[in-house]
Amino acid sequence: MGASKSKPVQPNQPPPNPELDKPWRKFDWSAKEDLKQRLEKFSTSHPEVKDIKIMLAGQIGAGKSSFINSLSSTFQGRICSRAPVNEASDVDSHSFTRCLREFAIKSGGKKLPFIVKDVMGLESKVLAGAQPEDIINAVFGHVKHSYKFDEKQAITDKDSCYTKDTKLSDQSFCLVYVIAADTIQLVDDQLTNKLKIIRQRISDQGIPQVIVLTKVDEACPLVQKNLQKVYTSKKIKERMEMCHMKTGVPLTDIFPVKNYHNEIETDDGIDVLILKALEHIVQNANDRLDDSEMY
């Protein structure tokens, strides 16, 4: 038998280009001061509500508390650490946030008219992490400040920390899901189902939902080298589309950010991404406040 013909050796193919030819979303990287000023001048559209309340929810380790600290850092012009953050290696195993907490955002010495609320992180297991009912009740103002979450039992109207009669000013007018770009592919059906339960119940009452996609630098080497590549990165675009498919939140309501992590000085690129996300959140929340009489 004759020897079989070997296939010709192909020359080494260059790796695929990780970058798009042009940004897939228009973004002004020089808009930091304009965004900051608009948010500093913001006022609510309803006379009974002085502060827009924004509820944060999301997977354990995604960076909810770090996002709060990054918001404060952006407005203060220095690195802030107001919300406790767990940097230990087992950060993904348990939620570091155990109680419902509220954080006012200040610029200089001025308190801005929005408050960010932080809850226990979500987990895949049924009886682990925050329960969907707790997050839903917290959004509608039924859960008192500093309530300690019970992983195995959601709050009920019989609990002392449950507020039955709430005012409009007690309610959060936007729910923000904080999801990590570097692990979005690992979000399983159980966690996705929890998010969908929350999303459906909140949507029934017209509460807008926004996703803050954190850790974009850890998800893409291109972005790690240059944050301004975030909207030309194929990897980040893919992760944002994956986020949309898993949660149902439109791409127009998904914003990639990088939280402050090991920096000791603030950075304009980090700040402008955070400010743009916050402006969208605040505008959506205020629109819902305008429509409050419909619900």
| Domain-embedded: residue 10 | no
Regarding beta strands 110-118 and 172-180, do their DSSP bridges make them parallel or antiparallel, or are they unpaired?
A: unpaired
How many domains does the chain contain in total?
A: 1
> What's the CA gap between 75 and 41, in Å, rounded?
13
16-63 pLDDT tens trace: 899 999 999 999 999 999 999 999 999 998 998 999 999 999 888 899
| Domain-embedded: residue 102 | yes
| Domain-embedded: residue 8 | no
| Domain-embedded: residue 123 | yes
Phi, psi of 212 (to 5 degrees): -105, 115
Q: Span 283-291, mean pLDDT?
A: 94
- The residues, ordered by sequence, that sit 6+ positions from 142 with a Cβ below 8 Å of its Cβ are 155, 157, 162, 163, 164, 166
CATH code where residue 256 lies? 3.40.50.300
| Domain-embedded: residue 122 | yes
> What's the CA gap between 279 and 234, in Å, rounded?
25
Q: What is the pLDDT of residue 91?
A: 41
Q: Which domain holds residue 69?
A: 32-294
Triad 280, 286, 47: Cα angle to 5°: 150
Triad 59, 65, 67: Cα angle to 5°: 95
178-209 pLDDT tens trace: 999 999 988 888 888 888 899 999 999 999 99
| Domain-embedded: residue 276 | yes
- The residues, ordered by sequence, that sit 6+ positions from 272 with a Cβ below 8 Å of its Cβ are 28, 29, 30, 31, 32, 35
Whether the CB-CB separation of 181 and 213 falls below 8 Å is answered with yes
Q: What is the pLDDT of residue 99?
A: 85
DSSP assigned state of 89: T
**Residue 92: both structure tokens together:** 């993904």
- Name the 3-class secondary structure at 208: coil
CA distances from 244 to 24, 137, 178, 287 (A): 16, 24, 13, 22
| Domain-embedded: residue 246 | yes
What is the three-state SS of 134-149?
Answer: HHHHHHCCCECCCCEC
Q: What is the pLDDT of residue 59?
A: 85
Q: What is the pLDDT of residue 89?
A: 41
Q: Which range in 60-64, 129-133, 151-155 is most confidently predicted, on average pLDDT?
A: 60-64
Global confidence as pTM? 0.89
| Domain-embedded: residue 5 | no
